[in-house]
């Protein structure tokens, strides 16, 4: 198979995929498959639609992406023209999505499901941008002259162009938009192809929502290697037996999800001895997978599929390390499996509190897979990203992860966080974002949120609020649900007259954490 490093942008690579795999399935649904040739036709039409709206290199569009075929095609059409896309959650509270659109400033908001027209209209009106429903009828026809114009636009897209903007939780209450470039993704695809031996006969189970970082692996490593993608709608994720049956029926060979999804399937015994018999790689990341739980999955798939623990922040193009589990990893069942060694396109530093190199401390990632920064947010970019000037790493880009790790025999092991960020259900959450949303409620004077891990496998978000008026916890949680996504709504809320303080006059988070365990 030819190397891809001669491709200077994603469009040239995907044009090669379309030429080589036209008759093979690209998107697979329960009611039928769509080939790469069919996908390519939609890309041509949607790229023409974007051009007709005056959009081009450097512009931004938003997509209310509910995994309909045209949304995937639109992502590829925007990539062809050098337009950055932002996938947004159609079910997320409008108030939060509005902040995402304010930061990314899209010219057009597309969506693929008419059921969400009311929410999409509200967002488009607030942003002052055009709203377009993605439908096959009405797509423009494309002639050879149009295609040549598209090719001319594609030739102007260089590796530093932004491909997508992926939003993560922000401690100020405003989500951070990670700007990922064509070059970042070209390196990522090449690594994924090699690491997992991906070919056109593979099928990826696209479990993660498209606004979530883990979906980058499915979409880019899957489709850009000529493999097929089986989009899995959110409704199926809550039906464990149907989900496993569907993945089996789709003949998926590669699974990537957060550990909590796998732990749930194991706990309810949805993964039977003959379930998902075609899987050859089960990849998990986004949160820790306790070895005592992981061993159950390993015992089921030991002779069928390799299990791979991956790690990587959104700011470093989804994945920066991968460790394939073996029997040796389970000699001790305490804690989490190692993060393994970094991928070939990463250098790193581990620094202590003084900024000196150490064997244990904050992990700083360096290299061509480090994102450009936080879109339209220079202040937070400067706080987390550096351009190094020492002679050994001159002008390399570095991202300070906030993750505390230790290095043993060249392998990284997760220790904790240096800030108030947690991983819950695979989502990266700044607890301050939930607190900021709570204090926006009229009844709340002060708020603090803690993450209590009751057992090795699962943790809970618990909120404490100080209110001068009497209010029910359920009422506050319902109001909070209009401001933040479901995964940020605490499972429990405690109303107090005032929050406990430590000797410095700050909220005593450790005291609240101890209280949450009672």
Residues with Cβ within 8 Å of 378's Cβ and at least 6 positions away in sequence, in order, are none
Return the pLDDT at 457. 57
Residues 110 and 62: beta-carbon distance below 8 Å:
yes
* All structural domains of the chain with their residue ranges: 421-516
Return the pLDDT at 454. 66
Strand boundaries in 240-396, DSSP class E:
254-257, 281-284, 306-311, 321-324, 341-342, 347-351, 360-366, 373-374, 385-387
Angle at 227 between CA 226 and CA 228, to 5 degrees: 125
Q: In what order do the strands lie in the sheet with 162-168?
A: 130-133, 108-111, 60-64, 84-88, 162-168, 176-181, 373-374
Return the pLDDT at 3. 47
Residues 319 and 188: beta-carbon distance below 8 Å:
yes
Q: What is the 3-state secondary structure (H, E, C) of 15-84?
A: HHHHHHCCCCEEEEECCEEEEHHHHHHHHHHHHHHHHHCCCCCCCEEEEECCCCHHHHHHHHHHHHHCCE
Alpha carbons 78 and 272: distance in angstroms, whole number: 41
Return the pLDDT at 1. 46
pLDDT tens track for 20-29:
999 999 999 9
Residue of 500, 484, 427, 506 whose CA lies nearest to 459: 427
Query: Which regions in the chain score pLDDT beneath 50?
Result: 1-5
Return the pLDDT at 311. 97
Structure tokens at 449: 């949120």
Alpha carbons 88 and 475: distance in angstroms, whole number: 27
Alpha carbons 145 and 194: distance in angstroms, whole number: 37
**Domain 421-516 class?**
alpha beta
Q: Which helix (H) or strand (E) holds 411?
A: strand 411-417
In degrees rounded to 5, what are phi and psi of residue 210? -75, -10
Alpha carbons 374 and 162: distance in angstroms, whole number: 11
Return the pLDDT at 518. 55
pLDDT tens track for 215-226:
999 999 999 999
Burial of 194 (0-12, 13-18, 19+ CB in 10 A): exposed
Return the pLDDT at 502. 75
Residue of 286, 260, 214 whose CA lies nearest to 456: 260
Residues with Cβ within 8 Å of 508's Cβ and at least 6 positions away in sequence, in order, are 499, 500, 501, 502
For the entire predicted model, the pTM comes to 0.91
């Amino acid at each position: 198979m030819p190397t891809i490093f001669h491709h200077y942008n994603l469009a040239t690579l995907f044009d090669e995929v379309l030429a080589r795999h036209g008759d093979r399935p690209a998107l697979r649904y329960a009611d039928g498959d769509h080939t790469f040739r069919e996908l390519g036709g939609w890309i041509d039409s949607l790229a023409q639609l974007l051009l007709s709206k005056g959009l081009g290199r450097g512009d931004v569009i938003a997509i209310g992406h509910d995994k309909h075929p045209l949304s995937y095609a639109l992502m590829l059409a925007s990539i062809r023209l050098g337009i950055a896309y932002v996938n947004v959650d159609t079910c997320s509270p409008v108030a939060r999505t509005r902040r995402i659109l304010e930061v990314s400033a899209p010219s057009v908001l597309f969506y693929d499901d008419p059921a969400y027209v009311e929410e999409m209209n509200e967002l488009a009106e607030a942003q002052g941008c055009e709203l377009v429903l993605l439908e096959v009828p009405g797509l423009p026809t494309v002639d050879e002259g149009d295609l040549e114009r598209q090719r001319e636009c594609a030739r102007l897209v260089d590796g530093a162009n932004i491909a997508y903007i992926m939003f993560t939780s922000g401690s100020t209450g405003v989500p951070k938009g990670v700007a990922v470039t064509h070059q970042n993704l070209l390196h990522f695809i090449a690594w994924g192809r090699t690491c997992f031996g991906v070919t056109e006969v593979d099928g990826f189970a696209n479990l993660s929502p498209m606004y979530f970082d883990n979906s980058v692996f499915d979409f880019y490593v899957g489709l850009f290697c000529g493999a097929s993608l089986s989009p899995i709608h959110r409704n199926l994720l809550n039906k464990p037996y149907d989900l496993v049956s569907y993945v089996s029926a789709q003949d998926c060979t590669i699974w990537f999800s957060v550990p909590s999804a796998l732990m749930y399937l194991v706990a309810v015994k949805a993964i039977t001895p003959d379930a998902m018999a075609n899987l050859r790689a089960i990849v998990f990341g986004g949160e820790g997978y306790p070895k005592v739980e992981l061993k159950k999955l390993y015992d089921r798939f030991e002779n069928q599929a390799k299990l791979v623990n991956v790690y990587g922040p959104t700011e470093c193009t989804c994945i920066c390390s991968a460790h394939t589990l073996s029997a040796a990893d389970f000699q001790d069942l305490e804690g989490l499996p190692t993060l393994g060694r970094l991928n070939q396109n990463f250098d790193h530093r581990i620094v202590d509190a003084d900024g000196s190199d150490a064997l244990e401390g904050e992990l700083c990632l360096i290299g061509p897979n480090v994102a450009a920064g936080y879109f339209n947010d220079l202040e937070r970019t400067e706080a987390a990203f550096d351009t190094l000037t020492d002679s050994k790493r001159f002008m390399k880009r570095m991202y300070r992860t906030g993750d505390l790790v230790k290095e043993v025999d060249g392998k990284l092991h997760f220790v904790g966080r240096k800030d108030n960020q947690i991983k819950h259900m695979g989502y990266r959450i700044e607890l301050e974002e939930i607190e900021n949303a709570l204090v926006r409620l009229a009844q709340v004077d002060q708020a603090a949120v803690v993450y209590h891990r009751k057992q090795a496998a699962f943790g809970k978000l618990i909120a404490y609020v100080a209110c001068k008026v009497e209010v029910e916890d359920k009422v506050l949680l319902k109001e909070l649900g209009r401001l933040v996504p479901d995964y940020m709504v605490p499972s429990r809320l405690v109303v107090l007259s005032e929050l406990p303080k430590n000797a410095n006059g700050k909220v005593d988070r450790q005291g609240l954490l101890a209280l949450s365990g009672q």
